[in-house]
Each structure stands twice: as C-alpha cells, then as structure tokens.
C-alpha cells in the first residue's frame, strides 16, 4: 500500500486534547515509569532521566524528582525470556518498595519495539505477578518518526513510499522474536500462545479517535472493559494519541490502573511533552577539530546500508570487527586489541573512527540475531570502547543492545539525561560525572531508523 492510499481525514490538531492532557497530568498523582527494553525508547522525549540503576534508593530518588516520567533501561531485549521476566519482576518489586518509602504513586509503561520484537508476553506477565492484575493491558506500537502506523488493527512499517504489513518485513523474520501476524489482535494471540484469543481483544479505531467527543468515547470504552482485557489502539498520527491519552488520564482519575505496552510516540504524549526541534550538531559534538567515534553492532539491512554510505564520507575510517575472530578467546582478544588500536589511531589523527561488526548473517558464532552470538559481539564492542584512550569529539552507537551496553558497561553510566534528538527518532543522552567521559553526549541510533544516507548526512555536519 502506498502511503498516499491511507486516505485518512486530518488528524486532530495538537490543541484541545493535548491541552487537557497537560492539565490532567498536573492534577495526577501517578508518575509514569517507562521500562525500556533497549535504549531507543527515548527517541521522542527530552528533559527526562534514564536510569541504568533500579535499586530501591535510585527509584525512590527518581520518584521524588519533579516531572511526569522517567525511564529505566532494562536492556531485556538482549536476554532470554526467563531472564527478561526476572528483571521485570525485580524492578516492579523495587518500585513498590520505593513507592512505600516516598509515598509516591506510579504507573508502568512497558516500552517495546515498534516493529513488535521483544518479550511481550513474558514481561507483561512478570509485571502482573508483582504489581497485581491491571484493569486492562493496552497495546500501542505506533511510532510515527519511524513510519510505523496502526489502522484497521493492522500494524504497518513504512518502506520508502510503501506501507508494508509488519509481518511482511525483515523484522518478522527475526530469529529470536519472529512472528506471523500483522493484525495486532491476532499477534497478541500468537505471542501469548493462545492464552488470549484474537476475538477477545478489544480495539479503539481511528473513527472513534477522530470524533469531536473522541476522548469521552475512549473513557467510556476503558471503564467498560472487563477486568484483565487486552486493548489495541489504532493510531496514524500524534493527534490520535492525544485523544486516547486524554481519555486514558480521565479513566485513571477514576482509580483504574492500566498496564501499557507501547512504542516511543505514546510516551511523549503521556509525558505531556511538546515536540522540539532537532539538535544542532554543536549540541551533541564537543569543540575542536578532532574525530568522532561510531560503534555499530546492529545487523539490520538498514544499518548495513547506512554504514556503506557513511564509509564513503571523506575523513572516516572503517574498522571492521570480524565476528568469526570473536568465536575463540585467543583470537577474540587479538581482534579487540587490533580494533581499539586502529580506532585510537584514527581519532588521534582527527578522523572519524567507524567500528562495526562484520555483516555476514552466518559466522563461527552462529547466525546473526541469535542472543548468544549477540552477547559475544556486544561484549567485544564494549571492550573496544573501554580500551580507546582518546576522548572522541562525539560518540554514536548504532543498535539498541549495542547502545545500552556501551553506555552502561563501556562508559559506566548509572543515570543519563535525554537532551533531545539528533535526527527523527534518534535520541541524544548526556552522560553523568560517573562515566568514563563525563558530560559527553551519546547519540543512540536505533538499528531500524533512518534512510540509507541518514548517518552520513549527520556526520557531514558534525
């Protein structure tokens, strides 16, 4: 389907409903805690904190700070289902303890991938075990900056001028998180192993959201759901989410509590944040003529195309890390030393060092996308980041798991501040004083965001 064939009426403007969202947030006692399964969930927000530490004291401090939300970086997409569930249970338990200590109330948003990869059932089940059953579970995977829209209950991914049902994309063939359904009611049945049947899943359609009384109708629908129901929210523009969140906050004000599995666009509206302009290069690059560092672990076709384009840019030096060489301890250590030395030399010479894992889909470690292979590759990239002695003028990490591991294990991040976006859907974090490069701004570039020349275009301006 061509995007032009969507043929939808104009979405509600960022007017009355968004004003009401901000008013209701000012009156609400609930702070949204966004559990982010990789660091790309911050790709629509600004001025909020990201925690890599979910101890009770850290969560209590975050609950006490002003503001409508904060993120907890779980990196659970890099884990198997059992470990992801355990992490979510631990965080939920600690949140309850922190809430008792502070007297603050919270609601949980489980932020997942807009292309539907992740431990949907395991994570929501784990949260429910600790927090108790929600009045309903709400699924909203729309992410407009990345071209992900939902209408007719079918989730679509934009590929050029085409809107492609998500099950027909490369993401649905992911070795760990693959799926066969694009209709979200059927996808929920698939991912819950039939525990939730597709005909039992309720939905909010675009027609309801685009009525003058859309928020009131959302409120009526939400409070009329049977306890424990699943609800799919269709959304093709921010105005749709503004109407839905207006109704959601009205429902929460009656005492109802919902568990949400969403992509990043919902979070900005739920936090009542206005859109802000993209950051200028001077806002994420350090001063001076030195080189920057790019570390890419994502294996998606989009990332590979972006790397190929980037490496044609004068002043860049590509440093490929052989995944085959990482399969054995002795060759792994040599490969890490070689790549770190090459990157340090490039940075010292004022060039941009582009460190990336080899692109083959099969290697001595196994197939790209296997969690075990991904852990080894990510650990090697972290070791390279830790070994480079030169502070780069800027730092870009490509891929969610790579970004999380470099930030936390490579730089030693415990808390970061989201300052904005370098490109649509590409967040920038400011590292704290505890990190290896205090105050450096990390560009967290998702593996599945941007056109083939987007990374090159950004570095051309840096």
Q: Does some domain include residue 363?
A: yes
Per-residue pLDDT at 277? 95
Average pLDDT value over all residues in the chain: 91
- Number of compact structural domains in the chain: 2
Confidence of residue 377 (pLDDT cuts 50, 70, 90): confident
Is residue 35 within 8 A of residue 408, CB to CB? The reply is no
**247, 270, 293 - which closes a domain:** 270
Looking at the fold, whether 238 and 153 belong to one and the same domain comes out as yes
At what angle are helices 16-27 and 214-224 packed, to 10 degrees? 50
First-to-last alpha carbon distance for the chain, in angstroms, is 36
Looking at the fold, whether 164 and 212 belong to one and the same domain comes out as yes
Looking at the fold, whether 255 and 295 belong to one and the same domain comes out as no
CA angle 170, 422, 381 (to 5 degrees): 60
Q: What is the pLDDT of residues 209-268, one digit of tens each?
A: 999 999 999 999 999 999 999 999 999 999 999 999 999 999 999 999 999 999 999 999
Looking at the fold, whether 390 and 313 belong to one and the same domain comes out as yes
Q: Does some domain include residue 275?
A: no
Looking at the fold, whether 107 and 145 belong to one and the same domain comes out as yes
Looking at the fold, whether 225 and 338 belong to one and the same domain comes out as no
Looking at the fold, whether 362 and 253 belong to one and the same domain comes out as no
Per-residue pLDDT at 2? 54
Buried-state track 95-116, b at ≥16 Cβ within 10 A, e below 16: bbebbeebebebbbbbbbbbbb
Token match 């399964």: residue?
37
* Residue 367: pLDDT over 60: no
Residue 329 CB neighbour total at 10 angstroms = 8
CATH code of the domain in which 120 resides:
3.40.50.10840
Q: What is the mean pLDDT of residues 305-331?
A: 92
CATH code of the domain in which 438 resides:
3.40.980.20
Q: Does some domain include residue 276?
A: no
Provide the percentage of residues in the chain whose pLDDT is more than 70: 94
Structural domain boundaries, residue 293: 281-461
**270, 290, 306 - which closes a domain:** 270
Per-residue pLDDT at 447? 83
Looking at the fold, whether 179 and 234 belong to one and the same domain comes out as yes
Looking at the fold, whether 310 and 254 belong to one and the same domain comes out as no
Of 444, 371, 455, nearest to 117 (Cα)?
371
Looking at the fold, whether 208 and 132 belong to one and the same domain comes out as yes
Distance CA 259, CA 21 (A): 18
Looking at the fold, whether 221 and 340 belong to one and the same domain comes out as no
Handedness of CA 255, 256, 261, 264 (dihedral sign): negative
Is residue 225 within 8 A of residue 105, CB to CB? The reply is no
**270, 295, 312 - which closes a domain:** 270
Q: What is the mean pLDDT of residues 24-31?
A: 95
Q: What is the pLDDT of residues 282-298, one digit of tens each?
A: 999 987 778 999 999 87
Looking at the fold, whether 335 and 388 belong to one and the same domain comes out as yes
Per-residue pLDDT at 161? 87
């Amino acid at each position: 389907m061509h995007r032009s064939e969507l043929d939808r009426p104009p979405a509600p403007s960022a007017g009355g409903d968004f004003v009401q969202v901000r008013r209701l947030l000012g009156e609400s006692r609930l702070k949204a805690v966004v559990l982010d399964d990789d660091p790309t969930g911050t790709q629509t927000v600004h001025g909020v904190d990201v925690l890599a530490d979910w101890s009770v004291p850290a969560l209590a401090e975050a609950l006490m700070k002003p503001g409508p939300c904060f993120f907890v970086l779980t990196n659970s997409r890099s884990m198997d289902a059992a470990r992801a569930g355990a992490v979510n249970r631990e965080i939920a338990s600690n949140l309850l303890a922190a809430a008792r200590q502070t007297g603050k109330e919270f609601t949980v948003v489980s932020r997942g991938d807009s292309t539907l990869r992740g431990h949907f059932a395991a994570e929501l089940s784990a949260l429910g075990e600790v927090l108790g059953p929600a009045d309903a579970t709400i699924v909203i995977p729309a992410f407009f900056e990345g071209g992900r829209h939902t209408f007719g209950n079918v989730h679509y991914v934009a590929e050029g001028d085409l809107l492609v049902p998500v099950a027909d994309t490369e993401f649905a063939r992911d070795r760990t998180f693959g799926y066969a359904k694009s209709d979200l009611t059927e996808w929920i049945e698939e991912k819950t192993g039939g525990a939730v049947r597709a005909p039992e899943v309720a939905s909010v359609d675009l027609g309801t959201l685009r009525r003058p009384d859309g928020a009131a109708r959302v409120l009526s629908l939400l409070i009329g759901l049977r306890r424990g129901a699943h609800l799919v929210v269709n959304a093709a523009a921010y105005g749709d989410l503004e109407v839905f969140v207006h109704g959601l906050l009205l429902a929460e004000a009656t005492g109802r509590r919902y568990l949400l599995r969403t992509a990043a666009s919902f979070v900005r509206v739920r936090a009542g944040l206005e859109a802000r302009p993209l950051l200028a290069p001077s806002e994420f690059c350090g001063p001076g003529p030195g080189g920057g560092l790019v570390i890419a672990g994502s294996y998606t076709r989009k990332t590979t195309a972006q790397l190929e384009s980037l490496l044609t840019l004068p002043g860049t030096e590509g440093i490929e890390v052989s995944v085959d060489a990482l399969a054995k301890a002795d060759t792994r250590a040599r490969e890490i030393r070689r790549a770190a030395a090459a990157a340090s030399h490039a940075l010292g010479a004022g060039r941009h060092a582009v460190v990336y894992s080899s692109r083959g889909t099969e290697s001595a470690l196994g197939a790209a996308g296997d969690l075990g292979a991904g852990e080894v590759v990510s650990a090697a990239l972290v070791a390279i980041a830790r070994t480079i002695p030169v502070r780069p003028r800027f730092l870009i990490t490509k891929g969610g798991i790579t970004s999380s591991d470099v930030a936390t294990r490579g730089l030693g991040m415990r808390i970061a501040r989201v300052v904005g976006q370098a490109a649509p859907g590409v967040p920038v974090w400011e590292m704290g004083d505890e990190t290896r490069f205090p105050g450096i701004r990390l560009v967290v570039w998702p593996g599945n965001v941007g056109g083939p020349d987007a990374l090159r275009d950004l570095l051309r301006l840096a």
